[in-house]
Amino acid sequence: MTDSDSSSRAAQVGVLYGLAAYGLWGVFPLFFALLLSTGAMPVEVLAHRIWWSCLLLMGLVTSQRRWRELALAVCNRRVLMTLALSTTLIATNWLTFLYAIERQEVMQSSLGYFLTPLMNVLLGVVVLKEKLRAAQILSVLLAVVAVLVLTISGGQLPWIALVLAISFAIYGLCRKTVAVDSLLGLTIETMLLAPLALGGIVWWQVTAQSEVTSLAAYGLFVFSGLATATPLLLFASAARRLRFVTIGFLQYLAPILQFVVAIAVFQEAFDQPKMVAFGLIWGAIVVYSLDSLWALRQAARARLTEKAHNLTVAPDTCTA
């Protein structure tokens, strides 16, 4: 098998992993709605999700014999502080997501994850001092108008969507800058939250605040750990095999599926203001995606030009 055949095969497998990861994230509202239907509070579901994810991830770290790497990461003050921040952000994201499901506002959840790439653009300006291209400015303005439409029509900010988008965008920035891979990073994050999560689970049971009593419900809680870790590990496998731009397009599968679930399963209203807002967001995404492709092609063209230039200059240098 040639290198090109091997690369093509890896890309095909990567796409399958990516589709599986984002597909699972897309139907998450169905699973967590089932958990909430047991009578559990959103914060209680979050606690179980953290605790059982932590146990599963620690098992994976043990099976891969990576505890030394994890210990070195924890001993690095900068890494630990960054992961402490990312832990707070992902917990906020997960809890807000559960709250959206409980209130049957999955459409806002979908909107939040559609907004995330555009929020990344704003973070690039604010944090990394990047300059926006004209198309990026247009895509951000379209998103701002969409939020204004929803705010004016609903009488309040679509705060669920904004919290989801902001928390996940900043979380991604934190994880991008910390020198720890997906498995170890998520393991440390859940370990930081695990004592609080276990304490809450025990407290709600002892004080009879929890309405969950059936073994089937507890089985679902245990399964929530696997449901949390599986798409993350699939995503990590996809990311290793695919170009960043491919991952960028695959990421829209999750909010698209959540949007379909909101209408088909939760039967949320899709009135005219929402149609306008989502139309603006989808337009912003199209502009953003086309601009990303253009920038990628320009960069590839520049590399080829530089390579050709180096090849033509090299003989002169050798004969000098």
Question: What does the H/E/C string look like for the chain?
Answer: CCHHHHHHHHHHHHHHHHHHHHHHHHHHHHHHHHHHCCCCCHHHHHHHHHHHHHHHHHHHHHHCCCHHHHHHHHHCHHHHHHHHHHHHHHHHHHHHHHHHHHCCCHHHHHHHHHHHHHHHHHHHHHCCCCCCCHHHHHHHHHHHHHHHHHHHHHCCCCHHHHHHHHHHHHHHHHHHHCCCCHHHHHHHHHHHHHHHHHHHHHHHHHCCCCCCCCHHHHHHHHHHHHHHHHHHHHHHHHHHHCCHHHHHHHCCHHHHHHHHHHHHCCCCCCCHHHHHHHHHHHHHHHHHHHHHHHHHHHHHHHHHHHHHHHHHHHHHHHHC
Q: What pLDDT score does 5 carry?
A: 59
Q: Is the pLDDT of residue 315 over 70?
A: no
Q: Is the pLDDT of residue 38 over 50?
A: yes
Q: How confident is the model at residue 12 (pLDDT cuts 50, 70, 90)?
A: confident
Q: Is the pLDDT of residue 154 over 60?
A: yes
- Residue 261's CB is within 10 A of a number of other CB atoms, namely 22
pTM of the entire predicted model: 0.83
Q: What pLDDT score does 319 carry?
A: 44
What does the domain layout of the chain look like in residue ranges?
A: 3-135+158-271
Calculate mean pLDDT across residues 159-178: 87
How does pLDDT run across 92-124, given as a tens digit for each residue? Answer: 999 999 999 999 999 999 999 888 888 878 887
Calculate mean pLDDT across residues 213-232: 87
Calculate mean pLDDT across residues 229-240: 80
Q: Is the pLDDT of residue 244 over 70?
A: no
Cβ pair 57, 44 in contact under 8 A: no
Q: What pLDDT score does 320 carry?
A: 38
Calculate the alpha carbon distances from 121 to 101, 173, 297 in Å.
27, 11, 19
Tokens of 279: 């139309």
Calculate mean pLDDT across residues 299-311: 72
Calculate the alpha carbon distances from 77 to 61, 80, 84, 174, 178 in Å.
21, 5, 10, 14, 11
How does pLDDT run across 269-289, given as a tens digit for each residue? Answer: 888 989 999 999 999 888 888
